[in-house]
Amino acid sequence: MLEKISGEGPVVYIGDGTSDLSAIPFAELLFARRGRYLEAYCRENKIPFIPYSDFAEVRTGIAQWLDDSSIE
C-alpha cells in the first residue's frame, strides 16, 4: 500500500515494532515509540527518526517538521 501513495506527497510514518520495518524506505518523517523495537532498530542502523511516547509528541513533531520544510 505504501508503494501506491509514495510520490503523492510526504509520507509520515508512526510505528513501534518489527511489522513497521517495511515502511521505513517510504517515510520522509519517521516516528518510533520510545523503548520499543523500532526505536532500537533505527538507532542500531542509523536511520533518522523522532522518538515519541504519545501522540501529542507526534503532533508537535509534525508541526515542527512542516514549519522547517518547504512543503506547501
- Grid cell listed for 19: 511489522
Going by pLDDT thresholds of 50, 70 and 90, the confidence category of residue 7 is low
pTM (2 d.p.): 0.85
**Domain at 54, CATH number:** 3.40.50.1000
Q: What is the pLDDT of residue 8?
A: 73
The yes-or-no verdict on residue 27 having pLDDT over 70 is yes
Name the one residue in this structure whose C-alpha cell is 501529542. 56
User: Which residue range is the domain that position 51 belongs to?
Assistant: 2-68
What is the residue-averaged pLDDT of the chain? 89
* Of residues 34 and 66, more confidently modeled: 34
Closest CA to 20 of 43, 44, 39: 39
Total domains in the chain come to 1
